């Protein structure tokens, strides 16, 4: 149950992050999205809908539709936009890796939404991969930011 409360706090943090940067997508934080993906992994690991509890499965399904899927797509689109804009101004090997990684996150988000409506229980693998690639994205973004600061 603690992941549910953490999830609410993280969603509120993402909303405040979006509001506080005066609607400029490129200033949004990658850390809040990484924490969101980590909380989602915990949420889906603890509240496993493959258990024989009907209310638990319904809760996870409603949570997936109304919170997980829209925020994952928003994170993927925002990260894709930020990475494309970054490559335009600072082309490098890291920037190309960032774009390929965020493209994988974007594709996994779309597949995640499609699988959600089919009702396949292997969705946990997709969520784990999204979390893994989000962690890689965050680390690469930090390394790229350090490289760009040295250039300036």
Domain ranges of the chain: 2-151
Instruction: Give me the helices (H) in the chain, please.
Output: 2-20, 30-46, 54-63, 69-89, 93-118, 123-151
CA–CA dist 15, 28 (Å, integer): 10
Mean of pLDDT values over 10-39 = 62
Highest mean pLDDT among 30-39, 47-56, 100-109, 116-125: 100-109
Percent of the chain with pLDDT over 70: 55
Mean of pLDDT values over 39-64 = 68
CA–CA dist 4, 121 (Å, integer): 20
Contact 65, 116 (CB under 8 A): yes
Whole-prediction pTM: 0.64
User: pLDDT at residue 73 above 60?
Assistant: yes
Q: What is the pLDDT of residue 52?
A: 64
Q: What is the pLDDT of residue 55?
A: 72
Average pLDDT, the chain: 71
* Eight-state DSSP code of residue 25: G
More confident residue, 92 or 25: 92
Contacts of residue 70, defined as CB under 8 A and 6 or more positions apart, other chains included, come to none
Mean of pLDDT values over 43-54 = 64
Phi, psi for residue 38 in degrees, rounded to 5: -65, -40
Mean of pLDDT values over 50-60 = 68
Mean of pLDDT values over 72-90 = 80
């Amino acid at each position: 149950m603690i992941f549910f409360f953490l999830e609410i706090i993280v969603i509120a943090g993402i909303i405040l992050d979006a509001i506080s940067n005066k609607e400029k997508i490129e200033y949004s934080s990658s850390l809040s999205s990484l924490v969101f993906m980590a909380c989602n992994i915990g949420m889906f690991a603890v509240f496993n809908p493959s258990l024989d509890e009907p209310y638990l499965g319904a809760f996870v399904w409603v949570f997936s539709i109304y919170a997980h899927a829209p925020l994952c797509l928003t994170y993927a689109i925002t990260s894709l936009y930020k990475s494309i804009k970054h490559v335009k101004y600072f082309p490098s090997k890291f920037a190309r890796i960032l774009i390929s990684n965020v493209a994988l996150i974007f594709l996994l988000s779309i597949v995640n939404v499609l699988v959600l409506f089919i009702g396949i229980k292997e969705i946990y693998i997709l969520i784990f991969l999204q979390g893994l690639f989000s962690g890689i994205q965050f680390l690469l973004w930090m390394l790229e930011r350090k490289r760009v600061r040295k250039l300036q």
